[in-house]
A and B are shown apart, each in its own frame.
Chain A
């Protein structure tokens, strides 16, 4: 799409989620990335210095920059996902900073759900911990397309190549059991700044990219599905004005594939077929629309289309289904039970769902499947069967993260209690 802006152009966007145990130096690393890219401002730094001093810390505690809430500062822990921003000349970054502490699975799932890249931090002195493995499993389950394992605190192991190699081998062996399409393993010292933005003079044996270089150059444009057209209809636009008397457009965000005027399409679940007349964006007719563009599609024929419907290509459309087999991350303190009824939201479609059965609970540490599980507790992950009141126009999550995902809502409290990824 033409971008007629002045100044700094074609900057793209990388969303990444951070993971790591409490003392792995995550805050220091984020602090350094923000500081070195000049995203920390003087008044923010002053405030952190003042608070560090008032607390009697002998150093400037960069974690104060990221722990934004009163209760977090009181307890010195991170409770919830926070989003942070920085930019280099070519790319803007959105960090989903997920806590290493309590309730951490659901927060990690939240942060990773929109991430292009997952950054796992390990302490070079301790190597892979249970926590690092769990993070890797979750990123893999969420199908985050790029992984970075940052081996931190290399300064505390004399910048030893052997230590790096050992952890690298351990992780790559472990990763063979996971779905890790792209992996980069970088030895760093967040505190000293080795290989974060500047190449380390202490590790001349390391020939790979610095962390910042990798974040700036990792190729994310082809991660989305550009083959299978998926356009969930979000909002019907019908101006009732003299000027646009006959206008009828379907607003939505392209979830997959490339839509073009003239394409033959099918509307689901009705199965009516027609042709794309035009694709509009604020009075401009576009040649094509692709993920994640938000556009308005006009169709040649006056077929009945409403919110919750899906536009797809005629011979490449999802099969509407009411029996759903999915991996669930449960996010409520009240356990998930068979026969439970929940509200489900999938793309722009809402329905109700009945939990038919729990197939197994997945141990995210060992990948062991427990088929005897009868419930799923807070932060637990399992495979379940659901029956929905209306058919979902769904794909397998592995094929499309947008049309393959859903949330479950407790109808009594209105709270989001589950995150689901469809298996088939």
Chain B
């Protein structure tokens, strides 16, 4: 008898679990859509979806909420992925939403916050019943409580106190008219797992994750990019530094970190020894209050 080793590495187990979730949702929801920002988490999600249905095409479209303030490198990576896989891309644009009166530009609300209504409108408009999100429970403590199948009512709201119990790998996808489900296939992945997987799969990511020269200025302890949308305040000066991004979002709020890590292997080493979370280091939008993420999620944010 041959002795077989039936151990599966943790990365393979995570991959298997995510594929299971993708297949389950595709089978049970009428109109799923994959939220795709072009960032590292959504790229890993797209690869997992690709694996789940191979050699068939991914049986749902991808949806990007375009803040109008996105990094050009991220948008071009998005386009490469979408073209290679031949999936349909739906763009929900904050600029369009402002024009159509869905959200109001008051000069104070961040583009990140305006994404909420823009996204909910796009979900409703297209009749999507499930939206795959790249949220990971290690990111933030409100996310640590999020289910894999996260129910949203007809207003797109999350009720953290009234979540459906989630047992074994039996996901409950029941919906009423007008409701939709957020589905988080990479809930159990950590930032390091994402990088390990990107390295192992050798997949394309936006170049700004790797170290590069950038003109930046410092605000509230974060390094922000010089851009046409960021007006310098008194005392702020632009300098050129060697940086990379740990998360990508709205250019006006997403900070970068000084880093010489220019390859995925070097990034893995850096992430493995990082002492600050990716959000703490680089996300202005989570700093507003202790419950910033939770409050936005209740409204409909991912």
Across the interface, which residues of A come within 8 angstroms of B174, CB to CB? 343, 409, 414-415
Residue among A9, A237, A258, A419 with max Cβ neighbours from chain B (10 Å):
A237
* B170 within 8 Å of A (CB atoms): yes
A234 in contact with B16 (CB, 8 Å): no
- Taking the closest CB of chain B, its distance from the CB of A309, in whole angstroms, is 13
- Taking the closest CB of chain B, its distance from the CB of A347, in whole angstroms, is 8
Q: CB-nearest residue of chain A relative to B51?
A: A282
A194 to B190 CA separation, bound complex (whole angstroms): 28
Across the interface, which residues of A come within 8 angstroms of B196, CB to CB? 5, 7-8
In A240-256, the 8 Å CB interface with B consists of 240-241, 243-244, 247, 251-253
* A94 within 8 Å of B (CB atoms): yes
A358 to B56 CA separation, bound complex (whole angstroms): 46
In B54-73, the 8 Å CB interface with A consists of 54-57
Residue among B13, B166, B291 with max Cβ neighbours from chain A (10 Å):
B13
Contact of B6 among A67, A221, A253, A405 (CB under 8 A): A221
Across the interface, which residues of A come within 8 angstroms of B6, CB to CB? 221-222, 224, 226, 258, 290-291
* A10 within 8 Å of B (CB atoms): yes
* A47 within 8 Å of B (CB atoms): yes
* B176 within 8 Å of A (CB atoms): yes
- Taking the closest CB of chain B, its distance from the CB of A220, in whole angstroms, is 9
B172 in contact with A244 (CB, 8 Å): no
B19 in contact with A68 (CB, 8 Å): no
Q: CB-nearest residue of chain A relative to B160?
A: A69
Across the interface, which residues of B come within 8 angstroms of A290, CB to CB? 4, 6, 8
B20 in contact with A234 (CB, 8 Å): yes
Across the interface, which residues of A come within 8 angstroms of B172, CB to CB? 345, 407, 409, 414-416
Binary interface profile of A, 22-65, with partner B (CB < 8 Å = 1, else 0)? 00000000000000000001111001000100000000000001
Across the interface, which residues of A come within 8 angstroms of B291, CB to CB? 69-70, 73
A251 in contact with B23 (CB, 8 Å): yes
Across the interface, which residues of B come within 8 angstroms of A380, CB to CB? none
Which of the 9-residue segments A81-89, A133-141, A177-185, A312-320 touches chain B? Answer: A81-89
Across the interface, which residues of B come within 8 angstroms of A82, CB to CB? 137, 141, 144-145
Which of the 9-residue segments B102-110, B211-219, B272-280 touches chain A? Answer: B272-280
* A351 within 8 Å of B (CB atoms): no
In B1-58, the 8 Å CB interface with A consists of 4, 6-17, 19-20, 23-24, 26-27, 50-57
Across the interface, which residues of B come within 8 angstroms of A401, CB to CB? 168
* B257 within 8 Å of A (CB atoms): no
Q: CB-nearest residue of chain B relative to A103?
A: B165
**How many residues does chain A have at the interface if contact means C-beta atoms less than 8 Å apart?**
89
A251 to B166 CA separation, bound complex (whole angstroms): 22
A419 in contact with B192 (CB, 8 Å): no
**How many residues does chain B have at the interface if contact means C-beta atoms less than 8 Å apart?**
69
* A3 within 8 Å of B (CB atoms): yes
A282 to B175 CA separation, bound complex (whole angstroms): 31
A407 to B187 CA separation, bound complex (whole angstroms): 21
A47 in contact with B290 (CB, 8 Å): yes
**Known A113-B168, A239-B57; contact A5-B20, beta-carbon cutoff 8 A:** no
- Taking the closest CB of chain A, its distance from the CB of B169, in whole angstroms, is 7
Which of the 9-residue segments A151-159, A264-272, A292-300, A359-367 touches chain B? Answer: A292-300
A7 in contact with B15 (CB, 8 Å): no
* A146 within 8 Å of B (CB atoms): no
Contact of B27 among A94, A283, A307 (CB under 8 A): A307
Contact of A85 among B7, B137, B164, B276 (CB under 8 A): B137
In B175-197, the 8 Å CB interface with A consists of 175-176, 187-188, 190, 192-193, 196
* A373 within 8 Å of B (CB atoms): no
* A280 within 8 Å of B (CB atoms): yes
A7 in contact with B199 (CB, 8 Å): yes
Across the interface, which residues of A come within 8 angstroms of B163, CB to CB? 80
In A359-387, the 8 Å CB interface with B consists of none
- Taking the closest CB of chain B, its distance from the CB of A261, in whole angstroms, is 14
Across the interface, which residues of B come within 8 angstroms of A66, CB to CB? 141, 144
Contact of A238 among B20, B56, B193, B276 (CB under 8 A): B56
* A110 within 8 Å of B (CB atoms): yes
A67 to B144 CA separation, bound complex (whole angstroms): 9
* B294 within 8 Å of A (CB atoms): yes
* B270 within 8 Å of A (CB atoms): no
A405 in contact with B11 (CB, 8 Å): no
Excluding A7-B196, A234-B20, A235-B27, 10 further A-B contacts by CB distance (< 8 Å) are: A1-B8, A13-B14, A82-B141, A83-B187, A85-B188, A282-B50, A293-B12, A294-B19, A296-B54, A416-B166
CB-CB nearest 5 A-B residue pairs: A43-B280, A68-B141, A414-B174, A239-B56, A294-B19
What residues of chain B have their CB less than 8 Å away from a CB belonging to chain A? 4, 6-17, 19-20, 23-24, 26-27, 50-57, 137-138, 140-145, 160-161, 163-170, 172, 174-176, 187-188, 190, 192-193, 196, 199-200, 265, 268, 274-277, 280-281, 290-291, 294-295
A to B CB contacts below 8 Å, 20 in the list: A7-B199, A41-B274, A43-B276, A43-B280, A68-B145, A69-B294, A80-B163, A81-B145, A91-B10, A221-B6, A237-B56, A241-B56, A251-B23, A282-B51, A290-B6, A292-B13, A294-B17, A348-B24, A405-B170, A407-B172
